[in-house]
Structure 1
């Protein structure tokens, strides 16, 4: 929101300097983002009138002008502007004047000099030379009644300042000069000049038939016909200047009037060419397939979610946002229809973004515009049109379909004092509401406020508390340090932090990467086997259209990014959240209904395990390298690795990871199909784990140092080729050794190349070291032999194995 200071002071003029006004507005919640003078500093530039302009004797493009600057004698000034002619009044820089600095940053001084042999006693200025605009096509022509010899800064009010406010979305009532003045009056106590909207004289009885078919789109629609309008009339300079201060250039008189009232009172309006309307107007929702050419030249297609104003033949306007080209006013327009309406904010919000543009009107309507003053503002627009463009006004047509209900809001004074953090009395609250023009009644410490029609932001008690504190003044709040008990939050011993997990993976040689939670849809179908991923309603990019249920796609994308940049060895991990459909999840402060959001950790390894080094030949990372990293990550928990299946991984080189019988993740090689699709030279290894399983850890239990030396025995058992390591150790640990078995581990595997006397081709020999011990005595040979026999018998019974001879 941008406006000139002089326009603001026309409504409310507190005895404060410009900077003080800016400070008051900022502390009142209307942040002044920028404050700048309307024009840069310059001196000795006055109004001059050209009395004579003749051709320069020595230059075709120069003229010698005699200029009256109110000093009695005329000044002889050489000028090359194409519009230098007799009778116009222009800015004249006298000898000794300093104009705004140029590219070198130094002021430009005007001196007495000669141009092509003719003396020049000053300079006639363009708007660009005074840095008032970028127009350099000729001299800046002033009004014909501009006083000759008067300082140009006074004539054009160039000592004015421009305020730029950075308003939050709830401050829709401050999106106008009058709205800001109303706030300034409440904050400073300075009187507010209330506008008066005198009805325009009605000269004819012509009306336009209007039907409001969608009361949920338009709550009120007002308009009138004005005939015999001169659309070629020139916009008054005072209006042009005020619009320029708002950052709006002058277009035509009718457009300028509509924009002027919008900036003045926050009332967007639209002016139709009455003779181009076919039949009547219908305010309704759009229909699929309907097209509209807008004033900005774009042609759009509307649907049932967009509001429109249509006549009997076609759509003529995009409701609350922009008018159509078909009924736009032009130089040939004679009769106009002026419209002002109340559009429901919910019916306008987001519609502009659908068509990739925004307008000042849409910006206001989607936040809320006062529905009670449509008729008064049309009277104001009518008066300006009659004064500037002439014409004859018709009767007012005002249709009220459905207006917003302003429900009373209650404020507890004791609650306000607690939230604000300082003592607040009932009288202070009532005074704040009085200054803000909010009707309020107090009863037993509770104040009931009925929000006026223009305050769409007052709905709950906290809204009223905000109004009280900003009128009382944020600077009045005491500086009170927070008081809270300092209680150390100790993490449980059986959990480790996510940072510890990150440090451990970094110590294993992995680098952390952070990726978006929204991914390409084919990643989910290919790599996660998820045919129904969670779709994004408004993705930031077309390829990022779904929420991820796995981290593997993101890691493969990082791998591809690095390989494209000639990386030979990549080891990365990510710790992040995934999103899975789950009908049992309900909406809470941290959850969304139907979506489970667990945390996972995933890693990827590609290339040599150790990188380039002299000690051994370079070899590609394999399954067991990745398995070792997973075991180190989970330690001291003992994980079980069993043959598994995963959509992203090689069917025969993938293992499910289980802890305590529960599956917590997967590890394996990337499927050859996806390796080919991603164009990877070698196969990467990947793992993905539930983060809860990784952060869990066993709390160490104290055991005394054994007093008696353990015994170790090596046995070799012959079993079938399909017997796994896990099956063997499970059978050994389940043997009844009387509690003597402490540990068992495999240290040798032998498979014959051809059948021998004791070993067939379909058999293998597994050598296992057994550790036996008692805590209260030294083991005897009989006890050791009995324990070994129990182990061999259990292996024989469960696995069909036998002791190797």
Structure 2
């Protein structure tokens, strides 16, 4: 909220400088966001009157003016403004005057100059040249009673400061100049000038029938008819200036009066053209499908969740937010109806945002407006309208179908001292609340307040605690160190941090991305196989309408974004949360009923397996690269990979990742269908997605002594069926020998014989095309003594027998 300091000091004028006043307000919770002078510095600019204005002899667009600047003799000044004419009073910069700095930051000094052969002894100024507004269409015309020769800064009261407050929603009672003045009086003890509202005597008895159907929308509705107004009357300059300094441009006298009272007292009001109202007015909730053309020119379609003021034929106004165009006042208006209402904040909150606009009235009503001063503010509006626009007022109608009832609130002094963190006496608490104008009743160790109508925010004890703290001053609160012991949360040795996972993936060549948790519904349906994703009630964009159940869709978007910009090698990962339906989840401090929100880590790679270099042959990344990255990420734990299917991945190139028998994720190649649908290059991207909790688990290293004896290596070449997997072979080998004897077993060769290689083995051995040869190296060692030949031979025979029994392997020979 913006207002001039001079207006505030008319209500309360404490003995503080501008900066001290701003500091006091800020330390009381009314943050002063900006202090700005009304006009920049300038000097030797006075009120001048144009006595004569004739055409310049050598220029079509210039006039030679004779100006009385209060110095006795008339000054000859050449001016090009279109409104330069005899009889008007304008700002006149004398020779030697300094105008506000221009774009170069330097002040502009007025000198005697010659324009097209005519000497000019000064300059006539526009509002923009004085820095008071952006209007530069002509000279700034002053009032006819402006004293010639008076300094313009003093006449226009330009030595003033604009305050801009950044108020929190609970300080709605300070959304007016008088409301801020009440706070200043409470903070400084300076006397408060309380405005009076003398009743304007009615001249006739005409009334407008009004009915309030929705008492949960409107608690009080007041209004009066005023006949014979002059809507074309000029708004007084003092009112125009004050509105401008509040950031509000002048529109017309009636509209300006309504806006002025809103800034002065915090009371939004509306003025109807009485002759355009059909019958009476009705306050109700809108009917679905009704339409209303607003004052801003837009036409909106209403639903049953927004309040309206309607007559017998149509909707006339959006309750508490904006009036309608159908009953707007105009230059032809003669009779008006002035309305001031109390709208329940919950009935107004958020309604204007449904139609993508905001108003000053809606901003105030959704926070709360004083319900106890409707009639007084109607009297204030009436007095200003009659004084400026004339007219004959009628009696005031005041309907009170559902007024809020103030309930007493009790403050315990001990509780206040504990929350604020400093010793407080009952006298201090009671004094602070009385300075705010509250009626206080004291009892043993407590004070009770019945909030006045303008303090609708005082509901619970903590509200009074806050008021006491504000009156004490936040800057006066002591700095108290915390008394509770602070213990660092030490991570268990068998658990690593998410940062360590990020660092491990970065070491593997991946780059981290951070994406939105709400995604396009198409991704969920196609890439996650989720037919019923969790929908957002109020999405920020149509393509972000559901919550993600997989990270792969976001990574695929990042991948395509980079590939579309000619990136040849992309490796990205994300650590983020996904959202799944789970009826077993109960509500708690960290969970939402019916929804499981686990953390996952996912990666995606495309392009070359390695950066371009001379020592490695270039090749495209494949499934085994992604599988190796997963193994490196989980190390030293050893994962098991088994064939599986996933909506995003190639059916024959996808594996489920198992750790200690539990499925923790998937690794695989992108499905050809999605590669084509997303217009990706021929080289298929590979990816993985794992449960973060499983990845964070780290097995503690076990101490194992170094073998004292020389190890023995033996290679086995076995013939197995094509469908036999590596895991089956390794599991059989490890089952055959104890871990104290078998130190390692590694597959180092796979051979699929061709017809030309039949000489290597008999036709019986390699008769079927679905056979393959696997070469496994065994490392054997003993703990107590070197292995003998008999022990080695027995171990080999045990392995061969186990392979034959488990996978149907046949030995091709060993060394």
**TM-score bracket, shorter-length normalisation:** over 0.9
Write the mapping of 1:693-732 to structure 2, written as runs, cut at 5 A.
Answer: 693-732=694-733
Deviations 1:538-567 (A, max 9, x none): 222221221111111111111111111111
- The aligned residue for residue 533 of structure 1 is 533
Write the mapping of 1:66-81 to structure 2, written as runs, cut at 5 A.
Answer: 66-81=66-81
Write the mapping of 1:574-723 to structure 2, written as runs, cut at 5 A.
Answer: 574-681=574-681, 682-723=683-724
- The aligned residue for residue 6 of structure 1 is 6
RMSD: 2.3
Provide the C-alpha distance between the structure 1 equivalents of 2:794 and 2:471, rounded to a whole number of angstroms: 91
Write the mapping of 1:293-304 to structure 2, written as runs, cut at 5 A.
Answer: 293-304=293-304
The 1:751–1:135 alpha-carbon spacing in structure 2 relative to 1, beyond 3 Å, is closer
The 1:798–1:106 alpha-carbon spacing in structure 2 relative to 1, beyond 3 Å, is closer
- Give the 3-state SS of the residue equivalent to 1:468 in structure 2: helix
Provide the C-alpha distance between the structure 1 equivalents of 2:617 and 2:205, rounded to a whole number of angstroms: 99
- The aligned residue for residue 756 of structure 1 is 763
Structure 1 range deviating more: 232-241 or 700-709: 700-709
Deviations 1:701-745 (A, max 9, x none): 222334455544444444333222212222333347696444433
- The aligned residue for residue 337 of structure 1 is 337
Contact 2:669–2:684 (CA under 8 A) maintained in structure 1: yes
Provide the C-alpha distance between the structure 1 equivalents of 2:83 and 2:765, rounded to a whole number of angstroms: 117
- The aligned residue for residue 126 of structure 1 is 126
- Give the 3-state SS of the residue equivalent to 2:325 in structure 1: coil
The 1:224–1:623 alpha-carbon spacing in structure 2 relative to 1, beyond 3 Å, is same
Deviations 1:161-207 (A, max 9, x none): 21111222222111110111111111111111111111211122221
Provide the C-alpha distance between the structure 2 equivalents of 1:64 and 1:801, rounded to a whole number of angstroms: 114
The 1:153–1:757 alpha-carbon spacing in structure 2 relative to 1, beyond 3 Å, is closer
The 1:247–1:405 alpha-carbon spacing in structure 2 relative to 1, beyond 3 Å, is same
Structure 1 range deviating more: 285-294 or 787-796: 787-796
Provide the C-alpha distance between the structure 2 equivalents of 1:347 and 1:450, rounded to a whole number of angstroms: 25
- Give the 3-state SS of the residue equivalent to 2:249 in structure 1: coil
- Give the 3-state SS of the residue equivalent to 1:170 in structure 2: helix
- The aligned residue for residue 275 of structure 2 is 275
Write the mapping of 1:347-366 to structure 2, written as runs, cut at 5 A.
Answer: 347-366=347-366
Structure 1 range deviating more: 506-515 or 588-597: 588-597
Structure 1 range deviating more: 135-144 or 14-23: 135-144
Structure 1 range deviating more: 675-684 or 505-514: 505-514
- Give the 3-state SS of the residue equivalent to 1:430 in structure 2: helix
Residue 429 of structure 1 deviates from its aligned partner by 1.1
Write the mapping of 1:553-568 to structure 2, written as runs, cut at 5 A.
Answer: 553-568=553-568
Contact 2:49–2:148 (CA under 8 A) maintained in structure 1: yes
- Give the 3-state SS of the residue equivalent to 1:734 in structure 2: helix
Structure 1 range deviating more: 393-402 or 747-756: 747-756
Contact 2:740–2:783 (CA under 8 A) maintained in structure 1: no
Name structure 2 gaps, 5 residues minimum. 756-761
Residue 113 of structure 1 deviates from its aligned partner by 4.6
- Give the 3-state SS of the residue equivalent to 1:562 in structure 2: helix
- The aligned residue for residue 227 of structure 2 is 227
The 1:351–1:705 alpha-carbon spacing in structure 2 relative to 1, beyond 3 Å, is same
Deviations 1:600-644 (A, max 9, x none): 111111111113223343211111111111111111111000001
Deviations 1:732-786 (A, max 9, x none): 3334769644443333434443562344414444343344444344444444444
Structure 1 range deviating more: 81-90 or 723-732: 81-90
Contact 1:752–1:760 (CA under 8 A) maintained in structure 2: no
- The aligned residue for residue 489 of structure 1 is 489
Provide the C-alpha distance between the structure 1 equivalents of 2:54 and 2:528, rounded to a whole number of angstroms: 85
- The aligned residue for residue 172 of structure 1 is 172
When normalised by structure 2's length, the TM-score is 0.94
The 1:117–1:489 alpha-carbon spacing in structure 2 relative to 1, beyond 3 Å, is closer
Provide the C-alpha distance between the structure 2 equivalents of 1:79 and 1:758, rounded to a whole number of angstroms: 112
- Give the 3-state SS of the residue equivalent to 2:372 in structure 1: helix
Contact 1:254–1:271 (CA under 8 A) maintained in structure 2: yes
- Give the 3-state SS of the residue equivalent to 1:284 in structure 2: strand
The 1:465–1:779 alpha-carbon spacing in structure 2 relative to 1, beyond 3 Å, is same
Deviations 1:427-480 (A, max 9, x none): 111111111123333333233333333234333433322221221122222344
The 1:667–1:113 alpha-carbon spacing in structure 2 relative to 1, beyond 3 Å, is closer
- Give the 3-state SS of the residue equivalent to 1:642 in structure 2: strand
Within the candidate set 774, 794, 800, 2:808 is matched to 800
Provide the C-alpha distance between the structure 2 equivalents of 1:702 and 1:401, rounded to a whole number of angstroms: 82
Provide the C-alpha distance between the structure 1 equivalents of 2:385 and 2:185, rounded to a whole number of angstroms: 30
The 1:786–1:160 alpha-carbon spacing in structure 2 relative to 1, beyond 3 Å, is same
Within the candidate set 766, 777, 782, 2:774 is matched to 766
Deviations 1:115-156 (A, max 9, x none): 455554433333233222233333322222222322222221
Provide the C-alpha distance between the structure 2 equivalents of 1:274 and 1:81, rounded to a whole number of angstroms: 41
Residue 318 of structure 1 deviates from its aligned partner by 1.1
The 1:712–1:434 alpha-carbon spacing in structure 2 relative to 1, beyond 3 Å, is same
- The aligned residue for residue 237 of structure 1 is 237
Contact 1:605–1:685 (CA under 8 A) maintained in structure 2: yes
Deviations 1:306-325 (A, max 9, x none): 22111111111111111111
Mapped pair 1:440 → 2:447: no
Residue 103 of structure 1 deviates from its aligned partner by 3.5
Write the mapping of 1:90-169 to structure 2, written as runs, cut at 5 A.
Answer: 90-169=90-169
The 1:117–1:528 alpha-carbon spacing in structure 2 relative to 1, beyond 3 Å, is closer
Residue 60 of structure 1 deviates from its aligned partner by 4.8
- The aligned residue for residue 247 of structure 2 is 247
How many pairs align? Answer: 805
- The aligned residue for residue 424 of structure 2 is 424
- Give the 3-state SS of the residue equivalent to 1:356 in structure 2: coil
Provide the C-alpha distance between the structure 2 equivalents of 1:740 and 1:640, rounded to a whole number of angstroms: 23
- Give the 3-state SS of the residue equivalent to 1:371 in structure 2: coil
Deviations 1:499-538 (A, max 9, x none): 1111111111111111121211101111111111122222
Provide the C-alpha distance between the structure 2 equivalents of 1:606 and 1:386, rounded to a whole number of angstroms: 78
Provide the C-alpha distance between the structure 2 equivalents of 1:737 and 1:56, rounded to a whole number of angstroms: 114
When normalised by structure 1's length, the TM-score is 0.95
The 1:243–1:777 alpha-carbon spacing in structure 2 relative to 1, beyond 3 Å, is same
Provide the C-alpha distance between the structure 2 equivalents of 1:488 and 1:580, rounded to a whole number of angstroms: 33
Contact 1:737–1:791 (CA under 8 A) maintained in structure 2: no
Contact 1:737–1:786 (CA under 8 A) maintained in structure 2: no
